[in-house]
Structure 1
């Protein structure tokens, strides 16, 4: 009877989760290399493309595209485009490269490295070296003024490009777009929290989705560069700097980032920085209405601002320091302390393993005895409920959180909700409460377990339940 009730609980929970969830995956494919020059048929006819290769300091060769005006005159300013996060084919930045090239800036976009760069591994120092190698290549082109080559860094490139500019004494300027003034872990938690709140989610799931997994990944060494500090590079930059943010940026905290850039550059004694926040613009300076949607065109004034500013710097007229525009930041970021011991790999991998083995083992031992024709060990019905509800909760929680992570793009799709709580999450919380109540009942009835074998089996289940309670509390299942 206890096993049957547990299987019913397991089946009901699994059916509910299956009905309300889907899956998605993140994939990346590196681009192929080429070396030739041509006038493209589908690109802007006013822009000429030249295919090059960037040799890196560690022996890689990164395919690159140089774009210049079709009627290019020699000795124009040049700008290396430094990628944002994620897989990095250079075509991602065709729109920016062509827009800047039409205005007389030679742009070099290169494929981001795949060796040493992935979802779980990266080094901003190594990426900065790649950008410096690209600048060296650009500086040697006959179309480019070697004394007027700088960096343009977007998003993650806003951590990388300042390091490159700091290390490259030949750098003439730095442009950053959607750059962060806070560490990556702090920024990621802030951005995911904003997305959850925008989706209307309230309660414990906000932290469980937006904070807890990243802290665990950090403790496991699987969140790359979590505490990277952009401050040291900013505090050393005296070259002209242009920083641009969308007022409706929901991936980078625009208000705090402007403040951090201003403080760092002031400390460096920089007298030629320009910081602008653009209304009606999202993270990548495309048009937007909410910050979570993205238009097909750049925000008005963005391209003109970059090209005119670079032209002034290249012409020996770097603008004096100025700050203008106000961003919308729904909430402040929060400092993220180092992980605690219970967020470590051995706890966060070990505890679910114990729970799955303990809960599943309770039912499997009974089934195994049936198959072998041996007498079934009797147990109280709360034991079956604890095993079934506990196992469903553990498996379902990781499945649902995985679904949220895999499908989260600019917005989160949590599924049907009730009072700000997704129905899937409410079901998991209900199952967790049922499991806790069942564990208490099992503990009360422990002495009544028949025989030493039956008591041992129930004792193991009860110990599993004791591990389940703090685990469920940590993952927000026992919190409103």
Structure 2
């Protein structure tokens, strides 16, 4: 274990900002259907390899940009090199606004504001970094200059100073494996809440990629991030077994408490996408004070696929066509049967529905979370590749028994335009829990896709991420800090009682 003040790390990989979110670019390799360009964990641009796509499939996906090696005292560079690694960290502008600088795609940086705005930074002439909107590549007029030696920057005409935090890197035992983690504490001696960031299904290093580890610390929250088993600097084999991952999260919380000592106050988890299944399960194993779920689900992975297909059809204009919806559900039934068999049988049934509906006007709109893959590949490819891609995934996992058994305060932040994890049935189930007296608050950001990213729609139908919704970060921080939630955060209304849940 080592401790350092304010830290930054270099990453040549695409950036993300929070657990479980997607990044711009295709997350469905070999799919013939339109893909979204959006951030992924947390995050954003990248075409995923199949295993990550299937992870996402079964709802994975925070986002959070990288952090690592601290800017060392005595650095003599006044401007960052092309990689910009010395500039990575959290800042406070002279007007009081927080600003995070994280790694972007290779050779770039990414800035994030707590109101959800973000931009990619590319080094231009004379040491200035030029910004473009979200992941669009379109100039937004912002310019940033860094003075790494003194921990300063200038965002347009506003100066800013790096915020000092306390960072403690560690290696700890998970469930039979050694995991790599990091605690980032706000400076000072006072007690602060602690949040542990729980991965989605991504394969990336959270230590390198999660910007929330800095952003939460800048807001007065101790934050623990770790590379889940089989990723980054952690040992073990990658898995999507929710119980194993939940036990690892409990070990991570124990380690964070140990490192934080007397400074740690209330504790809880924040999990995005697949982390929305894992975090509540971890709470059921070892109670905490709160849990935040971002763009997660209260349905099973197979139910998620069916909801995503229904969402696809409604979005394509076939929502009021009973024949189209029935045909799409017949396809979903066939792909579910194939998965249930461990890809041993069901190929004839899949071939039959493909032949029956291939010429239907709605067929090209069927995507779902894994149905797209089974429709887009031949039987030999599926037999060869698919079993390894979904190994360990509990496709029928029902989160409701866990959620019904929790009395821990929960916050669910969902995207109204989420194509990977449509929120409809999840909201209905959460409302039922609220009416039963469970301490659940929910908020829907109507224009956000998976990862809670707003987007533009390009001429080819692809979604290109622009920002996160105004109010999303403030909603999470208020909840973690134990504040009374406001009625609205940006465009999202908060439902925190049985009254708004229809009770």
TM-score in terms of structure 1 length: 0.52
* Greater CA drift, 177-186 or 217-226: 217-226
Which residue of structure 2 lines up, in the alignment, with residue 26 of structure 1? 50
Matches within 5 A, 1:270-349: 270=438, 272-289=439-456, 293-312=463-482, 324=493
Give 3-state SS (helix, strand or coil) of 1:141's partner.
helix
Per-residue CA shift, 1:348-400, capped at 9, x if unaligned? xxxxxxxxxxxxxxxxxxxxxxxxxxxxxxxxxxxxxxxxxxxxxxxxxxxxx
Measure, in 1, the Cα distance between the counterparts of 2:280 and 2:448: 23
Matches within 5 A, 1:179-194: 179-192=296-309, 194=311
Matches within 5 A, 1:209-288: 212-220=334-342, 222=387, 223=390, 224-267=393-436, 269-270=437-438, 272-288=439-455
Which residue of structure 1 lines up, in the alignment, with residue 253 of structure 2? 135
Cα deviation, residue 144, structure 1: 6.6
Measure, in 1, the Cα distance between the counterparts of 2:279 and 2:411: 12
Give 3-state SS (helix, strand or coil) of 1:288's partner.
strand
Number of paired residues? 290
175, 183, 198: which one aligns with 1:57: 175
Give 3-state SS (helix, strand or coil) of 2:296's partner.
coil
Structure 1 residue 41 corresponds to structure 2 residue 50: no
Measure, in 2, the Cα distance between the counterparts of 1:61 and 1:38: 27
Per-residue CA shift, 1:276-319, capped at 9, x if unaligned? 11132222112224696252532100001111121125xxx689
Structure 1 residue 81 corresponds to structure 2 residue 197: yes
Measure, in 2, the Cα distance between the counterparts of 1:204 and 1:244: 30
Which residue of structure 2 lines up, in the alignment, with residue 446 of structure 1? none
Of the two, which has the highest radius of gyration?
Answer: 1
Measure, in 2, the Cα distance between the counterparts of 1:215 and 1:43: 47
Which residue of structure 1 lines up, in the alignment, with residue 128 of structure 2? none
Cα deviation, residue 192, structure 1: 4.8
Measure, in 2, the Cα distance between the counterparts of 1:96 and 1:279: 22
Whichever structure has more helix as a proportion of its residues is 1
Measure, in 1, the Cα distance between the counterparts of 2:494 and 2:395: 29
Give 3-state SS (helix, strand or coil) of 2:418's partner.
coil
Per-residue CA shift, 1:5-29, capped at 9, x if unaligned? xxxxxxxxxxxxxxx99x984367x
Structure 1 residue 66 corresponds to structure 2 residue 188: no
Which residue of structure 2 lines up, in the alignment, with residue 349 of structure 1? none
Cα deviation, residue 134, structure 1: 0.7
> Structure 1's 319 and 325: CA in aligned 2 closer, same or farther, altered over 3 A?
closer
Cα deviation, residue 125, structure 1: 0.8
Which residue of structure 2 lines up, in the alignment, with residue 441 of structure 1? none
Cα deviation, residue 325, structure 1: 6.2
Gaps of 5+ in 2: 1-31, 34-46, 53-66, 73-84, 90-161, 319-323, 344-386, 496-503
Per-residue CA shift, 1:452-478, capped at 9, x if unaligned? xxxxxxxxxxxxxxxxxxxxxxxxxxx
Measure, in 2, the Cα distance between the counterparts of 1:77 and 1:286: 26
Whichever structure has more strand as a proportion of its residues is 2
Measure, in 2, the Cα distance between the counterparts of 1:258 and 1:93: 30
Per-residue CA shift, 1:419-468, capped at 9, x if unaligned? xxxxxxxxxxxxxxxxxxxxxxxxxxxxxxxxxxxxxxxxxxxxxxxxxx
Give 3-state SS (helix, strand or coil) of 2:397's partner.
coil
Cα deviation, residue 172, structure 1: 1.1
> Structure 1's 131 and 209: CA in aligned 2 closer, same or farther, altered over 3 A?
same
Instruction: Tell me if structure 1 keeps the 8 A contact 2:430–2:440.
Output: no
> Structure 1's 198 and 255: CA in aligned 2 closer, same or farther, altered over 3 A?
closer
> Structure 1's 141 and 91: CA in aligned 2 closer, same or farther, altered over 3 A?
closer
Measure, in 2, the Cα distance between the counterparts of 1:64 and 1:183: 29
Quote the RMSD (CA, aligned, Å): 3.8
Measure, in 2, the Cα distance between the counterparts of 1:101 and 1:149: 14
Instruction: Tell me if structure 2 keeps the 8 A contact 1:193–1:210.
Output: no
